[in-house]
Each structure stands twice: as C-alpha cells, then as structure tokens.
C-alpha cells in the first residue's frame, strides 16, 4: 500500500472540499456542511489507515523551487497528530452543522473551516520547514478570516486584525530562523530545510552552525511557536479571538491553530535538545510562567468563552514547559507534551461546544454572572461541561489528571536535578497553576450551573435535542478514559514512563486542585460572591486589566508608538514632497529669468556677443594660451 | 528568431491605435491580448525547461561603424518580464471604462511597445531611446487624463525621471568613449560588449564610479528608492486608474530590470560603497515608505507607498547579493538573493495591478477613495471586497501567494551578508502587514457605512480579469519552480564570479 499517496490525501481531501463546499453551498446551503464534514471524515479514515499500515517512516519529497522541497513526512508523531486533528475537527464540523445551521453565510464558513483543517493537516505532514511555514500561514489566514467571520461586528473585525498582526510577529521570527538556518546550511547540503534531514543529522547541523547559532535558530523558531500557541508575551490575541463563532473557537483551541506551535517544537525537537540546557530552560520557564499568568487572568474574567480562552493559554503553557524538561525525561518530553495536547484537545473542544450550546439558548449572552442554575435547566449540556471541567482541573480519574500531573512531577525532578534556584521556578509555577486551573474552571462552572438563574434568558434555557449533542459524547468519553492509554501513547511516540517522585509530590497537584474546587465552591457555589466587592482592590484591578499587557500592546506600542511615528514620517514625507516641488519651481523661475535675455533685440545680442568674446579672450590671456 | 518581426509589428500596430477611432478600446485590447498570447507561447516554447540564458540576437544595422544598431535579444529574465508587462497593460486596458478617446489607448499602447523594446533591447542606445519612449506617453497620460493638479504632477514625473535618464545617457556615452579608447578605435553600443567586467576592470576608478553613479541614479529614480521617490505618490494618485495600473504594474519593472538586466553582468566590479549604499537605501525605503503608508488617508495613495516599499526588496537583494558575490560567499546564497529580487520585480507588478484594479472597482461602485468614508463594504460588494482582500494579503507577503516566494528568497539569500540587520526588514514587513490589515478592517469589514447607500458589486467582466490576476498570483506562489528556475539560470549564467 502506498502510504505516501494516502498521506497526501489526508490533507488534500479537505482542501478539495474547500471550493466544493463553497460552490455547492451557493446553491444548496445545507450541503456545504455535509461536504466539509465528509471530507474530514475521509481524512480521519485515511489517517487510521496510515496508523494501521505504518511500518517505517515515509518520506516523499519533490522540488518546490530552488533548493526548497515539499513533500510528506510520516512518522509516529505526525500519524498521531493527524488522527487527533481530523477526529476533533470532524466532531466540531458535525456540531457546526447544527450550530451554524441558520447562518446565511454558512457555505463560506464551511469552506473556510475545511481549508483551516486542510492547512493544519498539511502542516503536520510537511516534510520541509518552508512547506511547514506555508501551511502555518494558511492556518493563520483561516483563523483571521474565521475570527472575523461576522465581519460586520466591529469587535470581530478588530479581533481578527489583532490576531493576524500578533501572530505575524511570531511568524516573522520563524522566517528569520529559516533564513539563518538556510544561509548556514545551504553551501553544504542540497536540501537544508528538510525536516527529516534536520532531525536525523543533528550532529552535522551542530558542527556547521556552532552551538550559539543553533541556539539562536531554536529561539527564533520558538518565537514562532510563542505567537501561534499564544504564550506570554504574545498571548494577547486569543481572548479577543472569541469574537468569532464558538465552533471556530473550538477549532482554534483544540485542533487546528494553537497546537501548531507546540507541534513545531515537538517536530524539530532534536534542534532544541542539541541547543543545550539554556534553550530548554527557556521553553520550561516561558511555558510555566504562561501557565500561571493566564491562570490568574482566568480568575477574574466573566465572559464564559474568555475564561476558556485563558485556560487554553495556561494549558499550552504546560505543554511547552513539558518540552523543556528534556534533561529529566529525555525524548519522552515530546510524548508528555503531546499527550497533554491530545487530552486538552478532547476536553477543550467539548467545553467550547458545550459553551456554544449555552450561548445559542441564551442568545449570545456570555456573561457568567448572568447565568446560573443551568444544571437543572440543561442537564445534559451542563453535565458534559462538568466532565470537561473535571478533566481541565486534572481530577482523578479523568485524562487530564494523567496528562498534567505527570508534567508537574517531571518538573519536580527537574528542580531536584539541579542546584540552581531558578530551576525550581517551573515546578512552583506549574503547581500553583494546578490550583488556579481548578479555581478558574470551577468558578466558571459554579456560576453557570448552580444557584438561581440571574437573567430572564437563563431562566428559560433548555437542552437542545440529544442528536445535536452526539458529537460531544465521544469527546466526553475520551476525556474520561484516555488517561489509561498514557503508557501506550508514550511508547508509540518513543518515550517511556518511569519517573519516580515522592508520593506527597505526586498528589500535591491533585490536592491543590481539590482545594481550588472547594474554595471556589465556598465562594461561587453559594452566593457569597455577590456580597464581595473587589472593585476597590488594587490587585484585582491589576488583574482585571490583564496586567496592562493589552494596553501595552495596543496602547503604548501601536497607538502611542507606531502610529505617531508613522504620522511623523508621513508629514515629513509631505514636506519633502513640497520642497521638491519648490525646488522645481525655482528652477522654472531661473528659466524665466534667463528668458529675459532672449529679448529679440538684435543690438543687445550683438552687445552680448562682444561681451562674451571679451570674457573668453581675457580668460585665455590669464591662462596663457595666447 | 521572429523576435524582430514581432516587435516591429507590435510597434506599428500600437501606432495605428491613434487612428482607430471609436473602436480604440476593442482594438488595443485585441492587439495587446494577441501579443500577450504570442509572447506567452513564444517564450514558453523558447525557455520552458531549458537552461538557456539568452535568446538569439537579431540586429538591424543603423550605423554599424559607430556601433549604433537596433538589436533585440531576449533573456530568461526579460522573457518573463515582457509577458507580465503585456499582461498588466492588457488588464489596464480591460478595466478602463471605455469613455476614453483613441489618444488615451494609443498612448498606453505606445507605452507598452516602448517598455517591451526596452526589455528586449540589446543595444544601450536603444535601451535609452525606449526609456524615453516610455516616459513621454506616460507624461501625457497623467497630464491629459489626471485628476487633481495633473499639470504639476505630470511635469514633476517627467522632470524627475528625465534627470535620471540624462545621467544614464552620460554613463552610456562614457562607456562608449572608454570602449573606443580601450579597443583602439572601434565603436560599440551593444550591451554584451559594454557591460563587460573585463572592460570595467581596466577603467580608472573615478570613471568607473561615474558610470555606476549615473546608472544607479536612473534606476533608483525609476524604482523608486528613497530619496528619489517624490514623483511616485503624486503620479500614482493623480493618474486615472488604468494609468496607475500601468505605472505600478508595468513601469515599475523598468528600475528592477535596470539592475538585473543591465548591471547584473558587471556586478563583480561595482564598488562596494555603492552596493552598501544600495542596501542602506533599500532598508530605509522599506521602513520609510511603510511608515508613511500607514498614515495615509486615501487608499490609492497608501497603496502607492506600499508599491514603493516593496521595491526596497529589489535594491536590498541586488546590493547584498553583489557583496556576497564579491566576498566569494556560496553561490547558493547570492543566486537565491538575485533570483528573489527578480521574482519581486515580477510579482510586484502583478500584485499591484490586482490591487489597483480592485481599488478601481471599489471606487467605481462606492464613489469613495478615502478610507474614512468607506466601511463594511463587504456586505454590499462581497466579490470586489474579496478580490481586494486577496490583493492586500498578496501584497503583505502571505505564503501561498507570489510575494512570499520573492520575499523569502531575498531574506534567506541576504542573511549571510547583512546578518541581524535583517531585523529592520522584518520590522518593515510587520508594519506592512499591519497597515494592510488595518485598512482591510476599516474599509471592508466593520459596520456598513450607511452613507454609501446601495452599492453594486462587480460585474462578470471585472470578476473575470481579477480572477485571472488572482490565479496568476496564486500560481506563482504555489508553483514558482519554472519561473524561478529561469531566474536562477539567468543569474548564474550572466554573473561571472
């Protein structure tokens, strides 16, 4: 069986569906969703075939232009990833048939989401970093279009712009990385940006680049990953990106967009562990800091989708920091990160779709403080959200417990492996993060589910038909049981699970998570929070303003930095322009003055001739020609 | 073969446009369309899959004793640029509203034949003549059909470019004279014998500097590069849209062709100071034009600056590639930089043609050109808006579109020379992305500006031409290989390391 051909069709199938669902949808609106979903079902089936028949890495490569190739690279990592992406994306598409069912532009929506999925699948299967970058940007473009899907909403238009520009910052860092890598390797190899070449020939690459340059390249690629996976400080675009349809948020957060950054680091992981402990520490510290930072922000947000958005940022931080723990878990670091990525994809897609159901019944009312009492009114939906919340908070025995707490344990070993104080930071951050995760998740959950309805809409909420919720069921099951397959998963990705930590360390995150749930129950499960007035608190306002990060970017950098500078340039340009014209006018004036000499009076010409000859004669005398 | 006959036919048919009366648009559309197909097939046949650098040289002697000949010779570079220039001019005629007289179309056709003559000319004298032939009709096009301040602007355009061409002519004649001394009394004006590194190597340093100075100024004016650019925003803004398309899409090729078509063979002997200046000017242009563009209030003017900024990549790639070559870097670097620069010349024409065409349709349907007076037009005119969005995305260098191939090749090719100065270019690229996307947000998206009333969307013909442009841009972005290989072959063929 030709696995390479199958791999091509894994991402070609939704790519073909992109124009198909659009043009079919022009005439028969309802068909577009069906076409898009079935194309992704095809991808899912094909990736299963890849999984079943895979024996050795498949690498097919063709010349794209100059010394850049394109092609397919299939190994365990990419097979696992395409299965996850196509599965989660399929569930979201099926749900979107219902969710977007009344939107007049749903053919555009489905065309764009299938392109989105195609981009992600292509990225996963890329055999060359430049090809990878092409799909990387395709994914970015689709997220731009989909965040701005309701383009007539000013917020959506500006959120789309913000997402594009902020991720573009990371992308540019990626591009410099590619340029540095290319310029160092191209004199020596024919195909310097090929992924299999890079990950199999690291000693050679290291000897050519030297450790400093290799570290530079790794950090530049990390910059791309930070932008895409919305890590600190480029996390600012994700909460605003909630302006798109909720199914788009589910896609972005679970399957197709933010996971790309983590996947990039995992894909070229040898580059990172050859770059030395400092680069790996950078991964660990950025990830763990983002985990705690976003967790704190998640505590004070009232928009249900934004809470989920901050939780994504925080969980991605866990994945990134797992990748930084190479020194203690070796190549299993990829498995640790990818396992959490998978589990997170399952429950986060489910949570977003659950939130989507709520938003649909509540007419896009997103403020959790105006919900309440929904568990009684929408039992099935809210129960599914409850499962998601448990998995997100990493409560035993949900899959989240297995995926996340192991990362925290590894961080503990990482701390003990070195004497330096700063090696303790990842573990501390991640552990506190466990508490925060449970706290913000259950704050949201209790506000949504318990108490009395706090708005008219919440009072009349109803579960939709069970048919609609069907796509959420497999995700819910996986969120519960997937943890037990952790060992198999790790060994499939070439890692192992033999980490020993003391029991009190092992159960510390779980204890903290339970504590977090308890605390939030005391405050938000009952109606204590209604009597709390935090608005005077300095800390609260600091957090509420997102540590002024957004203000820093949009205010200080964009509005008070770039724009005035641009205005200065433009006004300089204007005055330069008028100066040039003035210069031209003076030249014309000179011409006018000269014109007066041509008076047409023969006598004056004659006088001038004599005068001129005299001057020439005198000069000749002085020079000594005569 | 055939080239000379084809060219003379094109020139004569272009002149006939002035006599074509009411059917001028149809006539010129037919001629340019026919020549587009002819050139496309001819050059595909000539160059596809072959590693040929130059076509056959064809000469009509005029005064051979003095080296004045009318001779044409295509190269891998000029073949592609001829096709793209013909296409852009065809598109410009296609989108023009048909209310114009035969003089308008005659001038455009004359511009086209001048431009193609310039790209194919193998003789410096005729290169110069065609350079001027292009200038004059455009002067009249802006002056006669321009909107605001058309007198001043057209004069400025003319004087500005003319200063460049006079210096260029001086350089050519210095070379001509030096050749005469060097060969003890024989004359030549042919590019292959004058643009010869061996000739330059014996030349006194000052003389050499003078020659390069004249050529650099002429090409930098035409490109344009900071600080020789101030003709550009005004001309683009004042000219009617079809002429803007010609200016931005077709005439912008001239400066780039000057560097890669004329100067590339002697790249080895260009003083490094000149090359460094070129890089610096390129980087300044990128940043300066991008920042100036961001604050523009009119879409047309903003895109004029975007067009100027994109040409920064051409100067940077030429300068850095040349320095890499002189410092004997690996050919895999400088050939990539050169080919990237040529690719930028090519795709910039195409992308700008697309942007200005869709801006034209936006203006036609809404009657507005200022960013502030539009808003949310995606609702009323989704088709035009989508095309404009595609153009904007291509212009900011999104992968999958042609601009990215050029920009990435330049970046990867020049990093070896400029190192972390690349951050300045990246900064400019970020600014570029920002103002493109910001403009899209303010004009296409957001709430609909009800003042606009009911706007109509693009018709079938406008969608057709924009679709062709879009497909060409995507094709060159996804399958760059065939054209890119022509450029790399050309670069490695004419450059003598």
Map A437-465 to HEC letters: HHHHHHHHHHHHHCCCCCCHHHHCCCCCC
| B459: in domain | yes
Burial of B280 (0-12, 13-18, 19+ CB in 10 A): middle
| B376: in domain | yes
- Please indicate if any CB of chain B lies within 8 Å of the CB of A138: yes
Q: For A154-252, where are the alpha helices, taking DSSP H only?
A: 154-185, 195-200, 202-228, 237-240, 246-250
Pair A327, A418 in one domain: yes
B380 confidence band (pLDDT: 50, 70, 90)? confident
First to last CA, chain B: 30
Model confidence at B50: pLDDT above 80: no
- pLDDT average, residue stretch A100-124: 89
- pLDDT average, residue stretch A297-317: 89
Q: Assess contact for A475 and A253: CB atoms under 8 A.
A: no
| A419: in domain | yes
Pair A501, A580 in one domain: no
Q: Assess contact for A43 and A82: CB atoms under 8 A.
A: yes
| pLDDT value of position B306 | 92
Distance CA B449, CA B451 (A): 5
Which chain A residues have a beta carbon less than 8 Å from that of B446? 151-152, 154, 157
- Please indicate if any CB of chain B lies within 8 Å of the CB of A141: yes
| pLDDT value of position A417 | 83
Q: Name the residue of chain A whose CA is nearest to B476's CA.
A: A65
Domain of residue B441: give its range.
271-497
B446 contacts A154? CB cut-off 8 A: yes
For A515-556, the pLDDT digits (tens) are 988 888 888 877 777 777 776 777 777 777 777 777 777 767
SS3 A168: helix
| Structure token pair of residue B32 | 């340019």
**Which 31-90 residues of chain B touch chain A by CB within 8 A?**
none
| Structure token pair of residue A543 | 């957090």
Model confidence at B497: pLDDT above 70: no
The alpha-carbon gap from B238 to the nearest alpha carbon of chain A, in Å, equals 14
| pLDDT value of position B469 | 92
Distance CA A44, CA A61 (A): 23
Pair A520, A625 in one domain: no
Q: Assess contact for A183 and B333: CB atoms under 8 A.
A: yes
Question: How distant, in Å, are the alpha carbons of A368, A382, A463 from that of A458?
Answer: 10, 13, 12
- pLDDT average, residue stretch A197-205: 88
A563 contacts B295? CB cut-off 8 A: yes
B378 contacts A566? CB cut-off 8 A: no
- Please indicate if any CB of chain A lies within 8 Å of the CB of B328: no
For A508-524, the pLDDT digits (tens) are 888 888 998 888 888 88
B488 contacts A187? CB cut-off 8 A: no
Q: Assess contact for B306 and B436: CB atoms under 8 A.
A: yes
| B138: in domain | no
Distance CA B311, CA B292 (A): 15
B291 contacts A566? CB cut-off 8 A: yes
| pLDDT value of position B409 | 92
Considering CB atoms only, which of A141, A148, A182 is closest to B398? A141
Closest by CA to B398, choosing from A143, A347, A295, is: A143
**Which 563-602 residues of chain A touch chain B by CB within 8 A?**
563, 565-567, 569-570, 573, 576-577, 580-581, 584
Q: Assess contact for A493 and A373: CB atoms under 8 A.
A: no
Domain of residue A366: give its range.
277-534
| pLDDT value of position A370 | 80
For A54-97, the pLDDT digits (tens) are 888 888 888 888 888 899 999 899 999 999 999 999 999 999 88
First to last CA, chain A: 100
Distance CA B376, CA B373 (A): 10
- pLDDT average, residue stretch A395-418: 87
> To the nearest whole percent, how much of chain A has pLDDT over 90?
24
- Please indicate if any CB of chain B lies within 8 Å of the CB of A134: yes
| B236: in domain | no
| Structure token pair of residue B466 | 């924009």
B423 contacts A576? CB cut-off 8 A: no
| A213: in domain | no
A132 confidence band (pLDDT: 50, 70, 90)? very high
**Residue B9 is inside which H or E element, if any?**
helix B3-16
Distance CA B84, CA B63 (A): 32
Q: Which of A482, A511, A534 is the last residue of a domain?
A: A534
Question: How distant, in Å, are the alpha carbons of A259, B13, B395, B447 from that of A107?
Answer: 26, 48, 27, 21
Model confidence at A419: pLDDT above 80: no
Q: For B96-248, where are the alpha helices, taking DSSP H only?
A: 102-120, 124-145, 150-182, 191-194, 197-201, 205-222, 232-238, 241-245
The alpha-carbon gap from A120 to the nearest alpha carbon of chain B, in Å, equals 14
For B141-199, the pLDDT digits (tens) are 888 888 878 888 888 888 888 888 899 999 998 888 888 888 877 888 888 888 888 88
| pLDDT value of position B51 | 65
| ipTM computed for the complex | 0.92
Pair A500, A567 in one domain: no
Count of domains for chain B: 1
Of the spans A43-47, A409-413, A547-551, which averages the highest pLDDT?
A43-47
Which chain A residues have a beta carbon less than 8 Å from that of B433? 164-165, 168
Report which of residues B106 and A451 the model is more confident about: B106
- pLDDT average, residue stretch B254-268: 90
User: Which has the minimum average pLDDT: A127-131, A212-216, A381-385, B59-63?
Assistant: B59-63
Give the residue from B236, B394, B408 with the most A CB atoms within 10 Å of its CB, the best one to mutate. Answer: B408
The average confidence (pLDDT) of chain B is 88
Which chain B residues have a beta carbon less than 8 Å from that of A183? 333, 412-413, 415-416
Considering CB atoms only, which of B292, B339, B415 is closest to A573? B292
- How many CB atoms neighbour CB B351 within 10 A? 33
A576 contacts B333? CB cut-off 8 A: no
Residues 6+ apart with CB under 8 A from B8: none
Q: Assess contact for A478 and A399: CB atoms under 8 A.
A: yes
Pair A301, A429 in one domain: yes
- Please indicate if any CB of chain A lies within 8 Å of the CB of B152: yes
Per-position DSSP letters for B35-70, written without gaps between them: HHHHHHHHHHHHHTT----B---EEEEEEGGGTEEE
The alpha-carbon gap from A233 to the nearest alpha carbon of chain B, in Å, equals 17
Burial of B24 (0-12, 13-18, 19+ CB in 10 A): buried
The alpha-carbon gap from B87 to the nearest alpha carbon of chain A, in Å, equals 24
Q: Name the residue of chain A whose CA is nearest to B413's CA.
A: A183
| A449: in domain | yes
| pLDDT value of position B42 | 87
Which chain B residues have a beta carbon less than 8 Å from that of A156? 445
Pair A384, A509 in one domain: yes
Q: Assess contact for A107 and A25: CB atoms under 8 A.
A: yes
Considering CB atoms only, which of A65, A137, A151 is closest to B484? A65
Pair A607, A472 in one domain: no
- pLDDT average, residue stretch A558-582: 83
Pair A622, A489 in one domain: no
B296 contacts A179? CB cut-off 8 A: no
| B127: in domain | no
A176 contacts B423? CB cut-off 8 A: yes
Q: Name the residue of chain A whose CA is nearest to B429's CA.
A: A172
User: Which has the minimum average pLDDT: A259-273, B301-315, B336-350, B366-380?
Assistant: B366-380
Distance CA B86, CA B80 (A): 10
- Please indicate if any CB of chain A lies within 8 Å of the CB of B276: no
- Please indicate if any CB of chain B lies within 8 Å of the CB of A367: no
Model confidence at A192: pLDDT above 80: yes
**Which 462-491 residues of chain B touch chain A by CB within 8 A?**
480-481, 484-485, 488
- Give the torsion sign (CA, A567, A573, A575, A577): negative
User: Which has the minimum average pLDDT: A166-170, A591-595, B4-8, B290-294?
Assistant: A591-595
Q: Which of A534, A556, A585 is the last residue of a domain?
A: A534
Interface contacts A/B by beta carbons within 8 Å:
144
**Residue A392 is inside which H or E element, if any?**
helix A379-392
> To the nearest whole percent, how much of chain B has pLDDT over 90?
32
| pLDDT value of position A262 | 92
Q: Assess contact for B118 and B261: CB atoms under 8 A.
A: no
Considering CB atoms only, which of A141, A179, A581 is closest to B393? A141
B448 contacts A152? CB cut-off 8 A: yes
B295 contacts A161? CB cut-off 8 A: no
Q: Name the residue of chain A whose CA is nearest to B291's CA.
A: A566
B412 contacts A138? CB cut-off 8 A: no
HSE, CB side, 13 Å, CA atoms: give it for residue A297: 26
| B458: in domain | yes
Q: For B258-401, where are the alpha helices, taking DSSP H only?
A: 272-294, 299-310, 312-326, 331-366, 382-395
Considering CB atoms only, which of B405, B429, B448 is closest to A172? B429
The alpha-carbon gap from B295 to the nearest alpha carbon of chain A, in Å, equals 6
Pair A371, A482 in one domain: yes
Pair A338, A419 in one domain: yes
Model confidence at B236: pLDDT above 70: yes
B307 confidence band (pLDDT: 50, 70, 90)? very high
Distance CA B206, CA B193 (A): 21
- pLDDT average, residue stretch A2-10: 87
Considering CB atoms only, which of A137, A175, A569 is closest to B411? A175
The alpha-carbon gap from A577 to the nearest alpha carbon of chain B, in Å, equals 6
Pair A501, A360 in one domain: yes
| Structure token pair of residue A350 | 């489910």
| pLDDT value of position A42 | 93
The average confidence (pLDDT) of chain A is 86
**Which 41-80 residues of chain A touch chain B by CB within 8 A?**
63-67
| A503: in domain | yes
DSSP structure class, residue A62: E
Q: Name the residue of chain B whose CA is nearest to A148's CA.
A: B445
**Which 248-277 residues of chain A touch chain B by CB within 8 A?**
none
Angle between helices A379-392 and A332-361 (to 10 degrees): 150
| Structure token pair of residue B237 | 């803004």
Angle between helices A332-361 and A304-323 (to 10 degrees): 180
Count of domains for chain A: 3
A222 confidence band (pLDDT: 50, 70, 90)? very high
A626 confidence band (pLDDT: 50, 70, 90)? low
| pLDDT value of position A576 | 85
Distance CA A417, CA A231 (A): 26
DSSP structure class, residue B18: G
Pair A305, A393 in one domain: yes
**Which 427-446 residues of chain B touch chain A by CB within 8 A?**
429-431, 433-435, 437-438, 440-441, 444-446
Q: Assess contact for A14 and A39: CB atoms under 8 A.
A: yes
Q: Assess contact for B111 and B137: CB atoms under 8 A.
A: yes
Distance CA A484, CA A403 (A): 10
**Residue A360 is inside which H or E element, if any?**
helix A332-361
The alpha-carbon gap from B354 to the nearest alpha carbon of chain A, in Å, equals 19
Q: Assess contact for A309 and A250: CB atoms under 8 A.
A: no
B418 confidence band (pLDDT: 50, 70, 90)? confident
Report which of residues B72 and A535 the model is more confident about: B72
The alpha-carbon gap from B230 to the nearest alpha carbon of chain A, in Å, equals 6
Considering CB atoms only, which of A134, A154, A183 is closest to B412? A183
């Amino acid at each position: 069986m030709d696995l390479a051909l199958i791999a091509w069709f894994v991402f070609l199938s939704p790519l073909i569906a992109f124009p198909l669902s659009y043009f079919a949808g022009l005439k028969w609106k309802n068909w577009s969703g069906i076409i898009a979903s079935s194309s992704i079902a095809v991808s899912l089936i094909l990736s299963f075939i890849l999984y079943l028949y895979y024996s050795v890495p498949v690498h097919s490569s063709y010349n794209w232009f100059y010394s850049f190739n394109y092609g397919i690279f299939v190994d365990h990592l990419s097979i696992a990833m395409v299965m996850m992406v196509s599965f989660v994306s399929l569930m979201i598409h099926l749900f979107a048939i219902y969710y977007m069912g009344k939107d007049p532009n749903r053919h555009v929506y489905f065309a764009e989401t299938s392109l989105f999925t195609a981009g992600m699948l292509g990225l996963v299967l890329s055999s060359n970093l430049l090809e990878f970058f092409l799909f990387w940007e395709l994914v970015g473009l689709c997220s731009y279009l989909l965040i701005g899907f309701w383009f007539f909403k000013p917020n959506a238009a500006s959120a789309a712009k913000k997402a594009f520009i902020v991720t573009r910052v990371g992308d540019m860092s990626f591009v410099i990385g590619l340029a540095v890598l290319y310029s160092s390797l191209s004199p020596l190899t024919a195909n310097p940006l090929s992924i299999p070449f890079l990950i199999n020939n690291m000693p050679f690459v290291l000897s050519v680049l030297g450790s400093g340059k290799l570290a530079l390249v790794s950090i530049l690629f990390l910059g791309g990953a930070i932008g895409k996976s919305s890590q600190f400080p480029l996390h600012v675009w994700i909460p605003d990106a909630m302006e798109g349809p909720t199914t788009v948020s589910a896609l972005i957060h679970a399957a197709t967009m933010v996971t790309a950054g983590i996947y990039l680091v995992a894909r070229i992981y040898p580059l990172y562990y050859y770059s030395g402990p400092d680069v790996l520490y950078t991964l660990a510290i950025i990830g763990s800091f983002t985990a705690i930072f976003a967790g704190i922000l998640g505590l004070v947000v009232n928009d249900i989708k934004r809470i989920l958005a901050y939780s994504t940022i925080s969980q991605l931080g866990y994945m990134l920091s797992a990748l930084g723990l190479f020194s203690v878990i070796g190549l299993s670091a990829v498995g640790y990160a990818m396992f959490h990525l998978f589990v997170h994809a399952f429950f986060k897609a489910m949570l977003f779709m659950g939130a989507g159901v709520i938003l649909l019944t509540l007419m896009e009312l997103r403020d959790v403080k105006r919900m309440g009492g929904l568990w009684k009114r929408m039992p099935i939906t809210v129960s599914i959200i409850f499962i998601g919340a448990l998995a997100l908070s990493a409560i035993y025995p949900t899959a989240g417990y297995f995926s996340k707490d192991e990362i925290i344990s590894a961080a503990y070993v990482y701390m003990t492996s070195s004497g330096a104080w700063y090696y303790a930071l990842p573990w501390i951050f991640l552990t506190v993060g466990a508490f925060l995760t449970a706290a913000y998740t259950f704050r949201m959950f209790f506000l949504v589910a318990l108490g009395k309805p706090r708005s008219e809409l919440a009072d009349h909420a109803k579960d939709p038909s069970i048919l609609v919720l069907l796509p959420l069921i497999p995700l819910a099951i996986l969120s519960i049981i997937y943890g037990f397959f952790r060992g198999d998963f790790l060994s499939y990705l070439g890692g192992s699970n033999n980490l020993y930590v003391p029991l009190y360390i092992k159960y510390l995150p779980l204890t903290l998570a339970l504590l977090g749930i308890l605390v939030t129950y005391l405050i938000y499960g009952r109606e204590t929070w209604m009597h709390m007035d935090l608005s005077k608190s300095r800390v609260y306002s600091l957090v509420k303003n997102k540590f002024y990060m957004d203000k820093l970017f949009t205010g200080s950098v964009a509005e008070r930095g770039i724009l005035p500078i641009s205005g200065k340039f433009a006004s300089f340009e204007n005055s330069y322009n008028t100066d040039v014209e003035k210069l031209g006018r003076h030249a014309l004036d000179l011409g006018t003055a000269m014109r007066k000499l041509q008076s047409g009076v023969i006598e004056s010409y004659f006088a001038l001739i004599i005068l001129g000859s005299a001057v020439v004669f005198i000069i000749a005398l002085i020079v000594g020609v005569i | 073969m055939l080239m000379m006959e084809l060219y003379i036919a094109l020139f004569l048919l272009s002149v006939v446009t002035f006599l074509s009366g009411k059917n001028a648009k149809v006539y010129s559309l037919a001629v340019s369309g026919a020549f587009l197909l002819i050139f496309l097939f001819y050059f595909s046949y000539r160059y596809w899959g072959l590693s040929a650098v130059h076509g056959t040289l064809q000469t009509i002697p005029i005064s051979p004793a003095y080296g004045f000949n009318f001779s044409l010779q295509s190269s891998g570079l000029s073949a592609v640029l001829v096709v793209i220039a013909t296409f852009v001019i065809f598109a410009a005629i296609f989108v023009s509203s048909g209310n114009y007289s035969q003089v308008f179309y005659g001038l455009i056709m004359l511009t086209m034949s001048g431009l193609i003559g310039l790209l194919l000319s193998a003789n410096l004298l005729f290169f110069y003549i065609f350079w001027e032939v292009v200038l004059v009709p455009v002067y009249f096009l802006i002056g006669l059909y321009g909107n605001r301040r058309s007198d001043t602007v057209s004069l400025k355009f003319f004087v500005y470019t003319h200063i460049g061409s006079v210096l260029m002519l001086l350089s050519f004649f210095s070379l001509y004279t030096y050749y005469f001394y060097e060969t003890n009394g024989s004359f030549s004006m042919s590019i292959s014998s004058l643009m010869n590194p061996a000739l330059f190597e014996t030349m006194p340093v000052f003389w050499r500097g003078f020659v390069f100075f004249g050529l650099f100024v002429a090409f930098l004016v035409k490109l344009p590069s900071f600080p020789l650019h101030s003709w550009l925003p005004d001309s683009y803004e004042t000219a009617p849209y079809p002429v803007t398309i010609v200016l931005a899409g077709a005439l912008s090729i001239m400066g780039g062709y000057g560097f890669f078509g004329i100067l590339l063979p002697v790249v080895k002997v260009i003083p490094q100071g000149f090359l460094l200046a070129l890089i610096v000017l390129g980087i300044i242009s990128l940043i300066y034009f991008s920042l100036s563009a961001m604050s523009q209030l009119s879409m047309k003017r903003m895109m004029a600056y975007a067009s100027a900024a994109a040409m920064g990549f051409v100067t940077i790639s030429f300068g850095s590639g040349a320095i890499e070559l002189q410092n004997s870097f690996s050919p895999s670097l400088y050939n990539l930089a050169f080919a990237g620069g040529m690719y930028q010349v090519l795709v910039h024409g195409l992308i700008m043609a697309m942007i200005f065409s869709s801006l034209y349709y936006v203006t036609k349907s809404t009657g507005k050109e200022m960013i502030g007076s539009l808003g949310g037009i995606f609702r009323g005119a989704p088709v035009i808006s989508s095309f404009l969005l595609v153009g904007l995305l291509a212009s900011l260098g999104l992968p999958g579109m042609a601009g990215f191939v050029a920009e990435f090749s330049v970046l990867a090719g020049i990093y070896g020379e400029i190192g972390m100065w690349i951050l300045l270019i990246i900064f400019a690229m970020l600014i570029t992305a920002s103002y493109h996307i910001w403009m899209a947000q303010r004009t296409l998206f957001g709430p609909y500006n009800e003042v606009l009333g009911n706007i109509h969307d693009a018709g079938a013909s406008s969608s057709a031409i924009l679709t062709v442009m879009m497909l060409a841009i995507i094709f060159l972005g996804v399958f760059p290989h065939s054209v890119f290989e022509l450029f790399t072959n050309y670069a490695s063929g004419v450059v003598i390391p």
